Chains A and B, each alone.
Chain A
Amino acid sequence: QKEVEQDPGPLSVPEGAIVSLNCTYSNSAFQYFMWYRQYSRKGPELLMYTYSSGNKEDGRFTAQVDKSSKYISLFIRDSQPSDSATYLCAMSRSIGSGGGADGLTFGKGTHLIIQP
């Protein structure tokens, strides 16, 4: 069983829809959770960062963490064609002193397509 599972998609939705992206994980030691967006031939761009269970909202994006179920989600409201990209969840166990996580574990990414 992989440490982090993520449906690769593709997930295709019409413009304006609410998108739900999910990851499950097996290692209960994960404490820090992130979502990245990656466009083709670019580096991943950090969208959301959360620590422990709960919700965090930033504009059209909401990140949700349920540590009891080992399940994290990213919701995108009012989706736009420019949101079409691969979305990667990532998580880590700890932060080193002075910063820097101990090495992020990534899901394989979900390819999202927003149809105009």
Chain B
Amino acid sequence: KAGVTQTPRYLIKTRGQQVTLSCSPISGHRSVSWYQQTPGQGLQFLFEYFSETQRNKGNFPGRFSGRQFSNSRSEMNVSTLELGDSALYLCASSRLAEQFFGPGTRLTVL
């Protein structure tokens, strides 16, 4: 069974721009979660989607948003990028409690 896939793998943007990241979950998984990983803060929960609805949200500003499509694929968007948004963005899918992560998208904001 194919794992979680994320595109693109690497992105370079400048301050003020916006970015959209994509995640395809494991087949049959309906829950998709997004996390931000930085050296200083570690892995932090952004939000979780289930059946096209945001079910849980972490403590991030409204510049971070997401959505989920009927095929469970998900996208996250970051608007008005800041230098501090440089991070590895990870998507995880789950059917039960275990969450399986993709390889991540490494975003660099210049």
Contacts and interface: CB of A to CB of B under 8 A. Distances in A.
Given A103-B58, A105-B45, A46 B98 contact: yes
A51 B97 CA distance: 9
A100 B55 contact: yes
A74 B79 CA distance: 39
B50 A98 contact: yes
Nearest to A97: B50
A99 B103 CA distance: 21
Interface residues of A, number: 28
Contacts of B73: none
A101 B44 CA distance: 14
Interface of A: 32, 34, 36, 41-46, 49, 51, 88, 90, 92, 95-96, 98-109
Interface of B: 4, 29-33, 35, 42-45, 47-48, 50-51, 55-56, 58, 90, 92, 94-104, 106
3 A-B pairs with least C-beta separation: A100-B31, A103-B45, A43-B101
Given A51-B97, A99-B29, A99-B95, 17 more contacts: A32-B97, A43-B103, A44-B101, A88-B43, A95-B97, A96-B55, A98-B50, A99-B50, A100-B31, A100-B55, A100-B94, A101-B99, A102-B55, A103-B33, A103-B58, A104-B35, A104-B45
